[in-house]
């Protein structure tokens, strides 16, 4: 049963696609109050209650013991202490209740932090909808919720291939080196990403004629070789006279405003920029057509970035900071004055005060950005997706986004943002997968190997062995880190063995993905979903159920030659490496299993099988009809 409660005049986020009647608050099942323009409600947790959900968030599958904020944030350091990341996925499961708060501004989730037995949820506003979903089991609640928010985005088949990215491959020669490196090593590859250096002075939808002088023919040449080139699109539009996107946006009033009606100006990669008002349908239609500049050149995939929106500074706040620093010239900066100066500049990025100075024109009314902050990026990606579907039909264009809100799972995939080359981030990716699936995000994954810092050979191999199973399998690394392409390390044949496993599994993974999308199901589940009475399974957060057939358990510790694994039932332990398959029946219980760096572990349930095809260098070369069952 699903019950909807409404307060005030909620902004339509379009997250829910089913019409659910509204009932009175007298039947709301949780203690609640309105205080200081906030709605606060709470419930008591038993000692063994597990709290699931919140999609892309830090820490574990069980969300108990921490405070989380639904507030889309450009956060490049994913530590346990972080309360918010790039997304706002306002859905959690408590015992036999699912709770979705459809509210595009900040929500605070205190899940046993202040009091270990109490969850307190603070909605920072009084205009919202709350949906309460009742069910006997968590998976039933997920399916009911997913049914009312709509079917998940399905990307093109080739988007399940292995993908290589970096900030940045600055020119045609660099891209050619990547493709040639993978081909020479015999490692499959389907996509190469083009970051900021593709653009002319960081201007969206442009191509540098110096670095990519024959881009259309270059794209065609790569496509003939089976390689898709995927450019980045950011939310900020550079202020530059003669730049057509800026000129059109300014002339038509398409940009976000200050309170006085002038265009809001902030700095990101291009320097001073304006930000399209994606809350408006006409702006979304205009912005969506801008992608045509690149699809006309043969591009068929995009990643939308920096769309929380990331904000390095506002023009006014930067000037204030510079004036403050100038006033201190020649002074003796003691402890407090030094740190005050330091904080003045440190706090410029993504400042709440700057966000609060932005306004959107919604149905002729100026609405403050803070009231709709969490759907800004989602609406940017919606603009692209609506154009792609209209122009090309469904499942033709790859699109995924950094910022997201529930509902945007229908229009795109997501990646989990700027993680790091840390062993802990293998597990962080693992734990985000089922939580994201609960919220409808199926085409998802983390930056394999880690975006920031220097990866080690063994970390990349172990991260790849998890990435083999994630729908989005992209290796992405940051400027000024070591080369992270698989062929860059000694003995690249080990990397070939692992990536070939991905290609052997693609028929199974794609079928499992489509089934989950079409049936409002999950690809990845916590063990506790399938074995709720099993104490060890309930507490296990280093393994996941995959589809109806198997369980995954990656190695996630440095210098480990294997790992302990818990089998909640008899299973077959399978090790996949290139075209090699080894199988070992194991009984229910705890086992230590040896897993070499070039092996991918998989545990198949008794009486189940999964299909494998022969590996190929591209998804387009896979023989998906001739399959081997294991």
Tell me if 589 is assigned to some domain: yes
Q: DSSP assignment, residue 455? A: P
| Rounded mean pLDDT, 447-467 | 98
CA quadruple 64, 532, 152, 403: dihedral, nearest 10 = 10
Q: What is the DSSP string of 310-356?
A: --SEEHHHHHHHHHHHHHTTT----HHHHHHHHHHHHTTTT-HHHHH
| Confidence grade of residue 494 (pLDDT, cut at 50, 70, 90) | very high
Mean pLDDT of the chain: 98
Mean pLDDT of 544-572: 98
CATH number at residue 525: 2.60.40.4040
- Tell me the per-residue pLDDT of 7-33, one tens digit each, with 9 for 90 and over: 999 999 999 999 999 999 999 999 999
Looking at the 3D structure of the chain, how many domains does it have?
2
Mean pLDDT to the nearest integer, 169-185: 98
- Region 449-475: mean pLDDT is 98
Q: Give 611's contacts (C-beta < 8 A, 6+ positions apart).
A: 507, 508, 627, 628, 629, 630
Interval 393-444: pLDDT, tens:
999 999 999 999 999 999 999 999 999 999 999 999 999 999 999 999 999 9
Average pLDDT over residues 313-337: 95
Residues 526, 434: Cα–Cα separation, whole Å = 7
- Strands 562-567 and 589-594, sheet pairing: antiparallel
- Rounded distance between C-alpha atoms, residue 348 and residue 543, angstroms: 40
Q: Quick check: 563 and 487 in contact, CB under 8 A? A: no
Give the model's pLDDT for residue 616: 98
Q: Which residues contact 467 (CB under 8 A, 6 or more apart)?
A: 445, 446, 448, 473, 474, 475, 502
Question: What's the pLDDT at 340?
Answer: 95
**382 in a structural domain:** no
Which of 408, 359, 357 lies closest to 384, judged by CA?
Answer: 408
Among 395, 331, 353, which Cα is nearest to 264's? 353
In a domain, 131, yes or no: yes
* Dihedral (Cα; 292, 293, 297, 302), 10-degree rounding: -70
Residue 604 lies in a domain: yes
pLDDT, position 290: 98
User: Which DSSP string do the residues of 500-565 spell out, in sequence order?
Assistant: HHHHHHHHHHHHHHHHHHHTT--SEE-HHHH-TT-HHHHH--S-EEETTTEEE----STT-SEEEE
Mean pLDDT of 544-562: 98
Domain boundary among 149, 180, 205: 149
Q: 424-438 and 457-467 helices cross at what angle (nearest 10)?
A: 20
Q: Which two tokens stand for residue 99?
A: 């709770």
DSSP-derived secondary structure for 160-211: GS-EE--TT--SHHHHHHHHHHHHHHT----EEEE-GGGSSTT-TT---TTT
With cut-offs at 50, 70 and 90, classify the pLDDT of residue 224: very high
CA distances for 256 relative to 74, 81, 245, 362, 384, angstroms = 19, 32, 14, 11, 18
Backbone angles phi, psi at 314, to 5 degrees: -95, 155
Other beta carbons less than 10 A from residue 558's beta carbon: 10
Query: In 3D, which of 58, 56, 74, 60 has the Cα closest to residue 418?
Result: 74
Residue 214 lies in a domain: no
Q: What is the pLDDT of residues 226-247, one digit of tens each?
A: 999 999 999 999 999 999 999 9
* pTM for the full predicted model: 0.98
Predicted confidence at residue 254, as pLDDT, reads 98
pLDDT for residue 411: 97
| Phi, then psi, of 244 in degrees rounded to 5 | -60, -40
Tokens at residue 74, please? 């450009």
**Quick check: is 108 in a domain?**
yes
**Residue 573: strand pairing partners:** 584, 603
- Any domain includes 413: no
Element (H, E) at 82: none
Q: Are 110 and 65 in contact (CB under 8 A)?
A: no
- First CA to last CA distance, the chain: 40
Locate the DSSP E strands across 9-65: 22-23, 31-35, 38-44, 51-53
Give the pairing type, strands 22-23 and 2-7.
parallel
Distance of CA 267 to the CA centre of its chain: 24
Alpha-carbon torsion (456, 458, 459, 463), positive or negative = positive
Percent of the residues in the chain that have a pLDDT greater than 70, as a whole number: 100
Residue from 300, 266, 447 nearest 384 by CA? 300
- DSSP summary character for residue 452: B
What is the rounded CA–CA span in Å between residue 42 and residue 486? 48
As beta bridge partners, residue 3 has 132
Residue 516: phi, psi to the nearest 5? -65, -40
Task: Give the pLDDT of residue 556.
Answer: 98
In a domain, 215, yes or no: no
For residues 384 and 235, the answer to whether their CB atoms sit within 8 Å is: no
Q: What is the pLDDT of residue 405?
A: 98
Q: How many CB atoms lie within 10 A of CB 144?
A: 17
In this prediction, residue 313 carries a pLDDT of: 98
Torsion of Cα atoms, 611 then 616 then 621 then 626, to 10°? -30
| pLDDT tens readout for residues 261-302 | 999 999 999 999 999 999 999 999 999 999 999 999 999 999
Question: For 330-362, how does the pLDDT look when each residue is reduced to its tens digit (9 = 90+)?
Answer: 999 999 999 999 999 999 999 999 999 999 999
Q: How far apart are CA 188 and CA 615, in angstroms?
A: 8
Tell me the CATH number at 82: 2.60.40.1760
CB-side exposure of 485: number of CA atoms within 13 Å?
A: 27
- Residues 589 and 555: their CA atoms lie apart, in Å, by 18
Closest CA to 131 of 112, 148, 115, 117: 148
Backbone phi, then psi, for 56, in 5-degree steps?
A: -80, 105
User: Where does a domain end: 149, 170, 199?
Assistant: 149
Predicted pLDDT of residue 251: 98
Q: Which of 89, 120, 149 is the last residue of a domain?
A: 149
**In terms of residue numbers, what domain contains 52?**
2-149
3-state DSSP assignment of residue 381: helix
| Predicted confidence (pLDDT) per residue in 118-154, tens digit | 999 999 999 999 999 999 999 999 999 999 999 999 9
Across the chain, which distance is largest between two alpha carbons, in Å? 78
Q: How far apart are CA 457 and CA 459, in angstroms?
A: 6
């Amino acid at each position: 049963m699903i019950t909807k409660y409404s307060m005030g005049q909620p902004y339509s986020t379009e997250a829910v696609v089913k019409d659910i009647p509204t009932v009175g608050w007298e039947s709301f099942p949780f203690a609640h109050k309105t205080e200081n323009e906030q709605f606060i409600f709470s419930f008591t947790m038993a000692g063994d209650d597990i709290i699931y959900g919140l999609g892309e968030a830090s820490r574990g599958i069980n969300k108990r013991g921490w405070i989380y904020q639904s507030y889309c944030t450009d956060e490049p350091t994913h530590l346990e202490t972080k309360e918010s990341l790039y997304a706002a996925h306002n859905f959690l499961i408590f015992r036999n209740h699912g709770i979705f708060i459809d509210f595009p501004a900040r929500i605070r989730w205190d899940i046993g932090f202040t009091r270990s037995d109490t969850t307190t949820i603070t909605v920072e506003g009084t205009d919202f909808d709350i949906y309460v979903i009742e069910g006997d089991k968590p998976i039933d609640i997920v399916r009911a919720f997913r049914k009312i928010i709509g079917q998940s985005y399905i990307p093109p088949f080739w988007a399940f291939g292995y993908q290589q990215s970096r900030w940045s491959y600055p020119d045609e020669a660099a891209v050619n080196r990547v493709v040639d490196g993978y081909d020479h090593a015999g490692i499959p590859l389907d996509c190469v990403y083009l970051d900021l250096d593709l653009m002319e002075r960081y201007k969206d939808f442009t191509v540098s004629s110096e670095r990519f002088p024959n881009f259309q023919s270059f794209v065609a040449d790569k496509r003939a070789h089976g390689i898709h080139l995927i450019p980045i699109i950011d939310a900020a539009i550079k202020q530059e006279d003669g730049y057509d996107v800026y000129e059109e946006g300014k002339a038509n009033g398409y940009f976000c405003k200050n309170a006085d009606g002038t265009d809001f100006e902030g700095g990101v990669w291009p320097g001073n920029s304006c930000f399209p008002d994606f809350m408006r349908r006409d702006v979304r239609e205009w912005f969506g057509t801008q992608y045509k500049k690149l699809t006309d050149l043969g591009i068929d995939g995009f990643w939308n970035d920096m769309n929380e929106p990331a904000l390095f500074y506002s023009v006014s706040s930067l000037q204030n900071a510079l004036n403050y620093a100038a006033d201190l010239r020649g002074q003796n900066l003691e402890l407090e004055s030094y740190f005050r100066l330091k904080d003045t500049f440190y706090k410029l990025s993504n400042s709440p005060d700057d966000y609060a100075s932005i306004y959107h024109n919604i149905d002729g009314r100026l609405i403050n950005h803070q009231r709709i902050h969490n759907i800004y990026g989602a609406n940017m990606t919606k603009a692209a997706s609506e154009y792609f579907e209209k122009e090309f039909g469904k499942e033709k264009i790859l699109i995924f986004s950094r910022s997201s809100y529930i509902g945007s799972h229908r229009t795109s995939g997501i990646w989990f943002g700027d993680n790091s080359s840390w062993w802990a981030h293998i597990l962080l990716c693992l734990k985000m997968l089922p939580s994201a699936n609960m919220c409808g995000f199926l085409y998802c994954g983390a930056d394999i190997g880690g975006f920031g810092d220097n990866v080690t050979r063994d970390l990349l191999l172990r991260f790849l062995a998890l990435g083999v199973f994630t729908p989005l399998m992209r290796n992405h690394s940051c400027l000024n880190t070591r080369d992270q392409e698989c062929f860059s390390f000694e003995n690249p044949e080990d990397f070939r063995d692992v990536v070939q496993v991905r290609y052997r599994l693609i028929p199974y993974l794609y079928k499992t993905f489509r089934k989950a999308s079409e049936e409002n199901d999950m690809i990845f589940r916590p063990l506790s979903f399938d074995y709720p009475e099993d104490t060890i399974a309930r507490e296990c957060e280093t393994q996941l159920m995959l589809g109806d057939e198997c369980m995954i358990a990656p190695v996630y510790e440095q210098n480990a030659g294997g790992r302990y694994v818990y089998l909640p039932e008899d299973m077959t332990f399978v090790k996949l490496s290139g075209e090699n398959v080894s199988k070992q029946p194991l009984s229910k219980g705890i086992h230590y299993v040896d897993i070499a760096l070039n092996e991918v572990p998989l545990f198949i349930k008794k009486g189940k099988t999964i299909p494998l095809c022969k590996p190929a260098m591209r998804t387009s070369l896979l023989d998906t009809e001739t399959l081997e069952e294991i």
